[in-house]
Amino acid sequence: MQIFPCPFCGPRDEREFHFAGEAGKTRPDTTGEVSPDDWATYLHMHRNEKGRTREVWVHTPCAEMFIMERNSVTMEVLGTECLRAKS
Amino acid sequence: MRRLDDKGAVIDRAKPLNFTFDGKPYQGFAGDTLASALMANGVRIVGRSFKYHRPRGFWGAWVDDPNAIMSVTLNGIELPNCLATTTYLENGMEARAVNAWPTAKHDIKGGLDLFHRFLGAGFYYKTFIWPDWHLFEPMIRKMAGLGAVTPDHLDEFHSDQIHDHCDTLIIGGGASGLTAARVAAEAGQNVVLVDDQAQPGGSSYQTGTIADTAAADWIAAQMAAIKTAGGRVLHQTTAYGVYDHGLIACVENGAFGTAPRLWRIRAGRAVLATGAIDRPLTFAGNDKPGVMSLFASAEYLVRYGVLASDNAVVLANHSMAKEAVATLTAAGMAITQIDPDTPGLKAGGWQVTNGISVSGRHHPSDVVLATSGLTPLVHLWRHAGGKLTWDDARQAFLPDGQLSNMQAIGAANGTFDLNHALDEAQAAGLGQSHPRQDTSHHLTPVWPKPGSKGRQWIDFQHDVTLKDIEVAARENYVSVEHLKRYTTLGMASDQGKTSNMAGLAAMATLKGATIPEIGTTTFRPPFVPIPLEVYHGAKTKQLYHPVKRLVLEARHRDADAALCEYGGWLRPGWYGNGAAADHIRDEAMTARTTAGILDGSPLGKIEVMGPDAEAFVNFVFYNTMTTLKPGHIRYGFLLTEGGIVYDDGVVSRIDNDRFLISCSSSHVDGVRSLLENWRQDGNNPDRIFIHDLTMQWATITVTGPKARDILNGLDLDADVSADALPHMRFIETHHQGHPLRIARVSFSGDLSFELSIPSRHAPNLWDKVTAVAGTMDAHPIGIEAMSILRAEKGYIMVGKDTDGETMPQDVGFGIPRRKKTNAFVGDRSLHTDKANVPSRKVLVGLSVPHGEPPLVTGAHVVTDGANQRSLGYVTSSYHSPFLSRAIALGMIEGAVERVGDEVTVWHDGSNRRARIVSPCFLDPNGERLHA
Ligand SMILES: [Zn+2]
């Protein structure tokens, strides 16, 4: 079982966390024209990187979302930071 | 086989224990394993192999034995899959060999061995294809499995779940592990030593003296020193897996039948001192009972005082055998040594071996003690991600390179010389690395010889022979992972501890490659079989997923409510004892004729507030919320970004910057996280705040023609007339000084009020409402009646009347899709090609002729004609007591155009006719709703 460091609560067991998505995805402005391809990319295309990844996670007990960088091969956690600092 | 008086370091002769094996009574001593006790009693056949039901005797003395699997009963508790070599004897145990009926010695399935030509390599793969798996399946199913579990015993099988941490975890309590633990503890580290036996020491008892001290005394001295220095020792505890981020899982066994304890240990570093196991030799008849590991027979002697035989043939290809041979000889065993590389070696005997035949000469003996080298136990090293390197001198895979949090020492590291091992252990105790020294031992490789004569066993438990490896190679299953799955080599409960090396070596020879070129299969946890039950601990049944409880539960129980789980909540399904259908029908009638009182407390109550609350609610909802005025309520949908209906509910605007989202009771947690998600990822979280008050507020729903009269009887300081409080409005008032919100919303289609009050004041309000209601023949109703009421009106339940493809326009709400100008979740998905096809399934009612029973929920509406095709299905179906007829809702392809048509409804082979109608069966003009 992995230990993830919540930026608000510190290191906690992985079972307290939920994956929310890959970081850096921007919702298209749907008040304008959005092509079917662009929308499908937004909905379904994920980078699913091998190695260094940047993801959004939620720590369920405190309900805060944050960015976590980790290695998807070695499972090493490379760092976490608040989401809002980046938004 | 006999017990010697002057040997046996771990048995207590003052405590004799009685037990039976296959029905026959025997006696052993405290400290014995089932295996050592059986050997002391001269029992030679202790099981049957899995596939051919060949007789099996003991090969090993501990976890590496592949043969002696038993089903053991004690005090009415039966546990299957007990390895006799690791099951400690207790008084009254009844052991039975598995895979053998009626007994291991006389097995009626032994005749299967005659069919070995059919059950060879690839049997399963081939019969799946031809002639027909189903011909073989009943027989295979009957043969498979390793005993039965006493199911009621599992009710109390709750493993303690312990989370622990330490600086240094030492795995294995042999000479190396004890030394490392002592040095680490004396250096001030927080040390935990885990050892899988009841008495630590590993194979040290085979060593006469360690550091000029008798082995038993040396072991006791190390144990005392470790404890004095503050180290902790866990006995009968196996470290069976290394998981992510250095988690090491250990299972601690207690008395027979008790649930093992699960330890999840996080250690700063781990020292792997797991030792090595003996390796079988591959020769004709090598699976016969009596052929056993040389080192195991020495272990039986020194630990349990059991001499395997008075005479033996020893087959050994290395100098490490010398000490064991000397120990056994000194105990009185007459030993003949034969070079194991001699061609044509064959173990004779019918059921059990009677010696070795070679070059036309027979060497009679009761046992054949074989060894072809030691295999270091590197499983945990591999779990942790460590690499292996092949060592030619030792003919073994050894830990290679460094791991930041694990160090292998002693025999596990290939260091078979005791003095070298102790040097390594000293260094490891201090956290220092120590280069592996050259071994002083000589070993002449003796590996399986493909093409040689006779049936030669590679995997004793799963009956994989050298011929099977040859077949696999011929059919091109040459990669180790394919070889394993094709032949089932190493897939038995011992996971190939004894068989993998021989299998790899055979394949290497067949391919003309070296063993390291062939490589090993993946080492996966667990190292030994672990009951799955250890993982749940006390978290079963109610505790696995605790139900949410109503603050009014006691009131419901007093009223004889049938409490059932609905969406995670324990709620009244109906009230009263006896036939449920009668109560449900009566409650549905009461609600239509006078009024029904429903505990609606689980209804979601999520507040959204802050300067950006309006824009936020408008964005997360499908329906426009910017035009909602304070004091007003609007029905709406929450969609996924894929445009699929996720939940429905009503939104009340309390103030300009304050909204209350009333989502479905079963979706509250999901909706709250969905809202939090959008709040934090895409919005400014300092301008929006989300507060889930579902638990803090209770809701009592009063619905029916008499609902207003009941409210008027509560002495509320509020005007609830149709003019002052019309449909989809709410007011805030007080009840006995406590805040009370009265919302005029309806899920029944009748005049309805939802009274919400802080939970602790709900019992008072409930008492008052039900008392007033009682004077008007109105009563509490359960969820089941409410489900009928809402279906009569054609109101959907998300997840029941919708599925993973339903969009809002499919259930009659198409306007925001066309008109809403602001962005909202899922908006673009509502305009894809798929969202526009005319064949989308849409919500309709289904009507059957008066007097006919309700349709079956889930029944399909099908096309007429030769090739029946499903057009959709019935989602809700009830008998409506108020309308005196069957009603149903369904999701049917393109059905808006077909209202009035008759269709065929198919279920379980029979057809019925129904008419597509509007889903609203009651009060289509809304007179009752707006009363
Ligand atoms: Zn947190």
Domains of chain A, each with CATH number or no CATH: 1-24+46-87 (3.30.2270.10)
Q: What pLDDT does residue B801 have?
A: 96
End-to-end CA separation in angstroms for chain B: 95
For position B710, which CATH number holds? 3.30.1360.120
Query: SS3 of B67, please?
Result: coil
The verdict on B270 and B174 lying in the same domain is: yes
Residue B289 covered by a domain = yes
The verdict on B588 and B723 lying in the same domain is: yes
For position B858, which CATH number holds? 2.40.30.110
Residue with tokens 């007097």: B851
For position B399, which CATH number holds? 3.50.50.60
Q: What pLDDT does residue A49 have?
A: 94
Cα B207 → chain centroid: 42
Return the bridge partners of B913, or none: B904
Residue type, B351: Q
Residue B442 covered by a domain = no
How many CB atoms lie under 10 A from the CB of residue B370? 29
The verdict on B588 and B667 lying in the same domain is: no
Query: SS3 of A35, please?
Result: coil
Q: Which of B245, B387, B535 to mutate to test the interface with A (most CBs of A within 10 A)?
A: B245
What is the phi/psi pair of residue B130, to 5°? -160, 145
Q: What pLDDT does residue B913 have?
A: 96
B169 CA to centre of ligand 1 in angstroms: 29
Q: To 5 degrees, how large is the angle CA B766–CA B771–CA B776?
A: 125
Q: What pLDDT does residue B134 have?
A: 62
For position B61, which CATH number holds? 3.10.20.440
The verdict on B717 and B759 lying in the same domain is: yes
Which of B635, B668, B692 is a domain's end point? B692
A43:B822 CB<8 A: no
Residue B529 covered by a domain = no
Among candidate residues B169, B378, B385, the one with its CA nearest the CA of residue A71? B385
Residue B681 covered by a domain = yes
Q: What is the CA radius of gyration of chain B?
A: 37
Ranges of chain B with pLDDT below 70: 99-104, 106-148
> Scanning every residue of chain A, which has its alpha carbon at the shortest distance from the alpha carbon of B641?
A43
The verdict on B233 and B291 lying in the same domain is: no
Instruction: Count the residues in chain A.
Output: 87
B828:A34 CB<8 A: yes
Which of B760, B775, B790 is a domain's end point? B790
B832:A74 CB<8 A: no
A36:B681 CB<8 A: no
Asked if B180 and B429 count as a contact pair (C-beta separation under 8 A), the reply is yes
Specify whether the backbone of B245 is left (phi greater than 0), alpha (psi in -120 to 50) or beta.
Answer: left
Whole-number Å distance between alpha carbons of B531 and B262: 11
Q: What pLDDT does residue B110 have?
A: 60
Q: Label the pairing between strands B406-408 and B457-459.
A: unpaired
Residue B130 covered by a domain = no
Whole-number Å distance between alpha carbons of B429 and B589: 79
Q: Which residues of B touch A31 (CB under 8 A)?
A: 821-823
Residue B720 covered by a domain = yes
Asked if B86 and B26 count as a contact pair (C-beta separation under 8 A), the reply is no
Whole-number Å distance between alpha carbons of B73 and B286: 31
Residue B347 covered by a domain = yes
B530 CA to centre of ligand 1 in angstroms: 33
* CB neighbour burial string for B213-225, b if at least 16 within 10 angstroms, e if fewer: eebbebbeebbeb
B259 CA to centre of ligand 1 in angstroms: 34
The verdict on B700 and B594 lying in the same domain is: yes
Whole-number Å distance between alpha carbons of B174 and B197: 10
Residue type, B8: G
Which of B640, B671, B692 is a domain's end point? B692
Domain count, chain B: 6
Tokens of B803: 């599925």
The verdict on B687 and B785 lying in the same domain is: no
Q: Which residues of A touch B244 (CB under 8 A)?
A: 1-2, 14, 75
Residue B896 covered by a domain = yes
The verdict on B683 and B704 lying in the same domain is: no
Q: Which domain holds residue B215?
A: 161-277+375-429
A43:B642 CB<8 A: yes
B676 CA to centre of ligand 1 in angstroms: 14
The verdict on B783 and B845 lying in the same domain is: no
The verdict on B685 and B729 lying in the same domain is: no
How many CB atoms lie under 10 A from the CB of residue B899? 12
Q: What pLDDT does residue B155 have?
A: 76
Tokens of B824: 């909202």
- Omega prior to B526 cis, within 30 of 0: yes
The verdict on B270 and B401 lying in the same domain is: yes
Chain A residues within 8 angstroms (CB to CB) of chain B: 1-3, 14, 18, 20-21, 27-31, 34, 36, 39, 42-43, 56, 58, 63-65, 74-75, 77, 83-84, 87
Q: What pLDDT does residue B540 have?
A: 83
Whole-number Å distance between alpha carbons of B144 and B237: 29
Whole-number Å distance between alpha carbons of B919 and B889: 6
For position B646, which CATH number holds? 3.30.70.1400
Q: Tens of pLDDT along B113-168?
A: 655 555 566 666 665 555 565 666 666 555 555 566 777 777 778 899 999 999 99
pTM: 0.86
Whole-number Å distance between alpha carbons of B315 and B602: 74
Asked if B297 and B4 count as a contact pair (C-beta separation under 8 A), the reply is no
CB-defined contacts A:B, below 8 A: 56
How many CB atoms lie under 10 A from the CB of residue B865? 8
Q: Which of B692, B828, B836 to mutate to test the interface with A (most CBs of A within 10 A)?
A: B828
B680 CA to centre of ligand 1 in angstroms: 14
Whole-number Å distance between alpha carbons of B297 and B60: 8
Among candidate residues B842, B838, B157, the one with its CA nearest the CA of residue B537? B157
How many CB atoms lie under 10 A from the CB of residue B90? 19
Chain B nearest C-alpha distance from A24 (Å): 10
Chain A nearest C-alpha distance from B638 (Å): 17
Whole-number Å distance between alpha carbons of B630 and B617: 14
**Confidence bin at A87 (pLDDT 50/70/90):** very low
How many CB atoms lie under 10 A from the CB of residue B733? 14
Whole-number Å distance between alpha carbons of B637 and B630: 19
Burial degree of B27 (CB within 10 A; 0-12, 13-18, 19+):
middle
The verdict on B557 and B617 lying in the same domain is: no
Tokens of B847: 């009507």
Asked if B898 and B848 count as a contact pair (C-beta separation under 8 A), the reply is no
3-state SS string for B294-310: HHHHHHHHHHHCEECCC
Chain B nearest C-alpha distance from A1 (Å): 5
Whole-number Å distance between alpha carbons of B305 and B301: 4
